[in-house]
């Protein structure tokens, strides 16, 4: 029996995507075939015909690898999900570093490199979960809310700064002119929030994890919703360490031989938005939760730096997030106030 596998690397951009196909017959690699397609619904149909022409099977014998591009890879993701073709949507930096020293770059070359990466790492790559329309809708609303909040904050700061230098009569005109814009943004944020709550309520898996998350001290509605969105509702079941690394709150040793003896520190590569939210959670619990309040004060008395303690609190919160999701049990505090 002839064993045939197909490895496809796709480099995606807004207007089009380049695909490279490697066919492996009985462990023998064939010449790589490459082509470019429009990143549209009609382009996906042409891509499907190209795959059929090369006798690619739509089953686990085929592996597609693409980099996470935000929204531009969604059509390909949807196509693979509908055709039951395993697809790995990888971190762009991780994939790039795996190439080693790479000279030269264009879209076709990148797709060929992704194709070779798929073949080389096929035994270790995990297929990404099938595209969930409700999850995408949730992420889009979260993104829209974030953008509107930034706009509202920008307008408010601008008005305040102008108030320090403008005459009162002119300042009132400015505030009046911008009032409708600020009110409109507030109304849009309210509508978006209603849609987010509706999506959470209608999806039992989202609702279950949402309830577990909001039961953890410091975790509120916004952080819980963002966690569900950015982790695809914890589809990969990350460990506490993995989630802490993703959020950029896990400390790493920085030393080498006898010449480099740096302090442990977090890595700059992280989900910055999640890190900000966890920071706000940490600020909340050290004020309102007796366990963390005492922990913070104890470390301060030991001479620890405030930011170092806050990062430890962020890390503790992250570990609790992973724990309640993994066990699917509500958070229970074992802290003894009397102690």
In a domain, 206, yes or no: no
In a domain, 128, yes or no: no
Other Cβ atoms within 10 Å of 44 Cβ, number: 17
Its pTM stands at 0.84
In a domain, 185, yes or no: yes
pLDDT at 262: 55
- 225 versus 129: the higher-pLDDT residue is 225
Q: Which range (64-73, 100-109, 122-131, 229-238) has the least confidence?
A: 100-109
pLDDT at 66: 94
Q: Which of 196, 220, 241 is the last residue of a domain?
A: 196
* Average pLDDT over all residues of the chain: 89
Looking at the fold, whether 142 and 85 belong to one and the same domain comes out as no
In a domain, 221, yes or no: no
Among candidate residues 304, 244, 315, 322, the one with its CA nearest the CA of residue 282: 315
Q: Is the pLDDT of residue 329 over 90?
A: yes
Phi, psi values for residue 285, rounded to 5°: -70, -30
pLDDT at 202: 96
Looking at the fold, whether 46 and 92 belong to one and the same domain comes out as yes
Looking at the fold, whether 35 and 12 belong to one and the same domain comes out as yes
Exposed (0-12), middle (13-18) or buried (19+): which is 58, by Cβ within 10 Å?
middle
Task: Express each pLDDT in 9-46 by its tens digit.
Answer: 999 999 999 999 999 998 899 999 999 999 999 999 99
Q: Which of 120, 150, 174 is the last residue of a domain?
A: 120
Q: Is the pLDDT of residue 101 over 80?
A: no
pLDDT at 306: 92
Q: Which of 120, 145, 164 is the last residue of a domain?
A: 120
Task: Express each pLDDT in 236-262 by its tens digit.
Answer: 889 999 999 989 888 766 555 555 555
Number of domains in the chain: 3
Element (H, E) at 38: strand 33-38
Q: Is the pLDDT of residue 116 over 80?
A: yes
In a domain, 98, yes or no: yes
In a domain, 57, yes or no: yes
CATH number for the domain harbouring residue 56: 3.30.420.40
Range of the domain at 114: 4-120
Q: Which range (111-125, 145-159, 238-252, 302-316) has the least confidence?
A: 238-252
What integer is the mean pLDDT of 111-129?
Answer: 91
pLDDT at 338: 55
Do the Cβ atoms of 147 and 42 come closer than 8 Å? no
What integer is the mean pLDDT of 192-221?
Answer: 96
Q: Cα–Cα distances in Å, from 228 out to 74, 274, 330?
A: 18, 11, 16
Task: Express each pLDDT in 257-291 by its tens digit.
Answer: 555 555 665 556 678 999 999 999 999 999 999 99
Query: How large a percentage of the chain has pLDDT more than 90?
Result: 68
Alpha-carbon distance of 201 to 207, in angstroms, equals 6
Q: Which residue has the tokens 């039992």?
A: 204
What integer is the mean pLDDT of 124-141?
Answer: 91
């Amino acid at each position: 029996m002839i064993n045939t596998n197909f490895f496809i690397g796709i480099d995606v951009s807004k207007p089009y995507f380049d695909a490279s196909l490697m066919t492996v017959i009985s462990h023998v690699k064939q010449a790589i075939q490459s082509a470019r397609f429009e990143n549209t619904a009609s382009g996906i149909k042409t891509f499907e015909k190209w795959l059929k022409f090369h006798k690619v099977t739509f089953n686990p014998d085929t592996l597609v690898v693409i980099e996470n591009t935000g929204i531009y890879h969604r059509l390909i993701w949807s196509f693979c999900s509908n055709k039951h073709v395993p697809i790995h949507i990888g971190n762009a930096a991780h994939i790039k570093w795996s190439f080693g020293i790479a000279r030269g770059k264009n879209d076709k070359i990148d797709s060929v490199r992704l194709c070779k990466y798929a073949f080389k790492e096929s035994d270790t790559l995990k297929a990404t979960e099938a595209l969930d329309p409700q999850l995408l809708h949730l992420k889009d609303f979260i993104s829209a809310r974030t953008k509107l909040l930034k706009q509202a904050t920008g307008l408010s700061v601008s008005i305040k700064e102008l108030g320090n230098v403008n005459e009162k009569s002119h300042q009132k005109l400015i505030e009046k002119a911008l009032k409708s814009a600020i009110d409109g943004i507030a109304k849009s944020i309210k509508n978006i929030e209603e849609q987010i709550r509706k999506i959470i309520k209608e999806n039992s898996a989202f609702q279950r994890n949402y309830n577990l998350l909001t039961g953890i001290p410091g975790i509120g509605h916004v952080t819980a919703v963002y966690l569900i969105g950015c982790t695809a509702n914890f589809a990969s079941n990350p460990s506490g360490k993995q989630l802490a690394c993703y959020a950029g709150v896990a400390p790493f040793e920085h030393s080498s031989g006898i010449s480099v003896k740096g302090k442990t520190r977090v890595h700059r590569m992280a989900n910055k938005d999640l890190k900000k939210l966890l920071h706000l959670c940490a600020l909340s619990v050290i004020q309102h939760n007796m366990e963390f309040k005492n922990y913070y004060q104890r470390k301060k008395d030991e001479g620890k730096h405030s930011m170092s303690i806050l990062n430890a609190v962020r890390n503790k919160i992250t570990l609790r997030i992973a724990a309640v999701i993994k066990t699917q049990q509500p958070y229970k505090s074992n802290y003894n106030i009397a102690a």
